[in-house]
Chains A and B, each alone.
Chain A
Amino acid sequence: MDWFSRNLPYFLAGISVGGQYALIAIGYTMVYGILRLINFAHGDIFMVAGLLMVYLSASLPVFLAIPLVIILTVLIGFTVERVAYKPLRQAPRMSVMISAIGVSYLLQNLALYITGGLAQQYPAIPWVSDQITVFGASTKRVTVITPFLTIILVILLVILIKKTKIGMAMRAASKDFETSQLMGIRINSVISTTFIIGSFLAAIGSLLFFSNYTGVTPTIGTMPGLKAFVAAVFGGIGSIPGAVIGAFIIGICENMIMMLNQYVRFDISNFKDAFAFLLLIIILLFKPTGLFGEKQTDKV
């Protein structure tokens, strides 16, 4: 029992962080599925959502600030796609990826300019940020909410993709980009919808993430962003359930490392961030398409 109550916080934190990564990872995996683009700016969209919350909640009540943050984040995601990726639709893939890196650089520098480089204190959201006790372990309520909220959102998303017309268009576009255009699918609106969904989930993810880790800095989006991408690759890029499972695995394993750190002689907490990448390299070597990825063949 002692062991249980000592280690439970790590499990809880792992599941919660996993849920937050999952919400970001969906944005990566959907964009990659359609555009074959690693959207390096996605992690920074997540950071921007955090900053928006900091500034908006300073002057608005929380119940107004939260929807506004979500709307603005979606708007930014939409704009980024229209301005930085759409003009490069016919360009080689590398150019689009470089453009994504450029956007990431721009958003980070913009955040640096606005914040002056200081970490901004994330506001406490009533009820969500309250301390609660679960089986004797003290934690914030957000830790418990995250996995459930994530699962609900993922189920809604899967229904959207399986049952609705726009979802069908998305599946068609990710199967074969060019043919779907010939079949009369308006590809630009499909891509915009993808970015809107991705940014929406990133905004929710940022609300949950920063309720736990309350310092928002301009570069804070990079690491969760990269890890979420790793999760997407791990689960098989293009597959939404894959990305979610990958994200939970990474979140939990990461916190397992912190848990193990109590028992081993060396300090291994440094490798918390590196672990995701180790997992990535291993999975790419043995199953390059990820856990649930489709087999791809090269055409000459």
Chain B
Amino acid sequence: MKKKELIPGLILIAALLVLLRYLELHISPQSQWAMLLTVLKKGSIYALVAVSMNLLNGFTGLFSLGQAGFMMIGAYTYAVLTIPAEQREMVYMYYEGGIIRFALPSIVGIILAGVVAAVFAFLIGLPVLRLKSDYLAIATLGFAEIMRALFQWDTLGPLTNGSNMLRSYPTFKTILYPFIVSGVCIALIVMLINSTYGRAFKAIRDDEIAAEAMGINLAHHKRIAFTVSSFFAGISGALLAMFQTNVQAKSFNSAMTYEILLIVVIGGIGSVTGSVISSFLFIACSEWLLRFLDETHVIGDVTLPLMRSGFRKVVFSLIIMVIVLFFRQGIMGNREFSFTRLFSGRSKKSKGGKADE
């Protein structure tokens, strides 16, 4: 964001927060608009993890499929550390209250969620980041599967509660919370992308060999991108845990990573604003807007064919296939959304390179 955009930008953000608060206070949980709040909350959380995946796939050219694994690490770290001491006996009922007897404040839990995910990413990154494209993808996917098995392991039960659910930890009271945390994190990612590191990432994406010849330390920069991305995935995992009010390792499967990847692709690989917009669209479509497809409709005497439970997802995946096949650039391509450009009406090409191979 340029200097002259800063003030309008801040005003816009403040207005957005006020609007959200207004919506939250005036939509009753019974009304049909209540889904809007759910979509907004979940969308903001997915926006963060999508942007963090975009940092890897879109800006550094590392095709990683471990995002759900790092979210799981974040979610578990948060939940394990913040369950109030008096609730532990009940949550860990099969493991005599677990081995942790203290509870950290929520905000510390969130930061630690990111830190632990980042530490795991750093360690796993040491060996796997040497791998190239597809091999990296399958190795990170494999890593996520290993972690999922580890977290459900009965022997680690006193720590992770085995395959049982973790719950009773503090959650957020207001919709502003996920928005502010996600917003701050996305702002940090954008700052990283615009820094010299970000330019080095893009150089690596466009041509590894050329980047190395220009004096960029490949291993070092890839490790930074991977660790930072996982840090934010961990934080979004903690937010997701708060949103769901319970965590179970089995929900963080490869299908979840694919969903995040599809969000990134729909938004445009290499566009932060694209990822954010498409997160909200994706969640809104899958949770809310297409709901009517799941219900049987009768017009006159004719029952509309095909419409029954599950049809929504079929239509949704067809839409995704159409986007993947015919609109490969996604919503934003690798451009960024900007109000000044929108209002001045000229479509200036951004300076970002292409995200090919």
Residues of A in contact with B (beta carbons under 8 Å apart):
32, 36, 38, 83-84, 87-88, 91-95, 97-99, 101-106, 108-110, 112-113, 116-117, 219, 222, 226, 229-230, 233, 266-268, 270-271, 273-274, 276-278, 280-281, 284-285, 288, 298, 300
Contacts and interface: CB of A to CB of B under 8 A. Distances in A.
B317 A106 contact: yes
Contact of A102 (B138, B146, B324): B324
23 contacts: A38-B138, A91-B328, A93-B357, A94-B57, A94-B269, A97-B134, A97-B137, A98-B265, A106-B318, A109-B313, A109-B317, A110-B317, A116-B310, A229-B138, A270-B153, A270-B154, A273-B145, A278-B142, A280-B139, A284-B131, A284-B135, A285-B127, A285-B128
Contacts of B356: 92
B149 interface: yes
A102 B357 contact: no
B119 to A, nearest CB: 18
A88 B321 CA distance: 12
Given A112-B313, A226-B145, A267 B154 contact: yes
A88 B135 contact: no
Given A98-B262, A109-B310, 15 more contacts: A94-B63, A94-B133, A102-B317, A102-B320, A108-B255, A117-B310, A219-B255, A226-B141, A274-B145, A274-B149, A277-B142, A280-B142, A284-B131, A284-B135, A288-B135
Interface of B: 57, 63, 127-128, 130-131, 133-135, 137-139, 141-143, 145-146, 148-150, 152-155, 209, 253-255, 258, 261-262, 265, 269, 308-311, 313-314, 316-318, 320-321, 324-325, 328, 355-357
Nearest to A276: B142
A278 B141 CA distance: 11
B328 A93 contact: no
A32 B134 CA distance: 10
Contact of B321 (A106, A229, A233, A288): A106
B309 to A, nearest CB: 7
A109 B135 contact: no
Contact of A88 (B128, B142, B261, B325): B325
A84 B255 contact: no
Contacts of B328: 88, 91, 95
Contacts of B143: 277, 281
A280 B124 CA distance: 13
Contacts of B324: 95, 98-99, 102
Given A101-B258, A106-B321, A113-B313, A280 B150 contact: no
Q: Which secondary structure dominates where chain A touches chain B?
A: helix
Contact of A94 (B128, B130, B357): B357
List of 3 A-B pairs having minimum Cβ-Cβ separation, nearest first: A277-B142, A113-B310, A274-B149
A300 B134 contact: no
Contact of A99 (B149, B317, B325): B325
Contacts of A229: 138
A168 B110 CA distance: 57
A174 B265 CA distance: 28
Contacts of A113: 308-311, 313-314
Given A38-B138, A277-B145, A284-B131, A106 B155 contact: no
B321 A38 contact: no
A184 to B, nearest CB: 27
A93 B265 contact: no
A281 B127 contact: yes
Given A112-B313, A113-B314, A98 B261 contact: yes
Given A109-B310, A219-B255, A278-B146, A288 B318 contact: no
Given A99-B324, A109-B316, A281-B142, A300 B209 contact: yes
A222 B131 contact: no
Contacts of A281: 127-128, 139, 142-143
B145 to A, nearest CB: 5
Contacts of B131: 284, 288
A110 B314 contact: yes
A171 to B, nearest CB: 21
A249 B138 CA distance: 19
A285 B131 CA distance: 8
Given A110-B314, A226-B254, A273-B149, A105 B262 contact: yes
Contact of A274 (B150, B320, B321): B150
A226 B143 CA distance: 12
Nearest to B155: A266
A107 to B, nearest CB: 9
B255 A222 contact: yes
Nearest to B208: A298
A201 B278 CA distance: 38
Contacts of B317: 102, 105-106, 109-110
B254 A270 contact: no
B96 to A, nearest CB: 17
Contacts of B261: 98, 101
Nearest to B127: A285
Nearest to A269: B154
Contact of A112 (B130, B133, B258, B310): B310
Given A105-B320, A270-B149, A280 B154 contact: no
Contacts of B137: 38, 97
Contacts of A98: 261-262, 265, 324
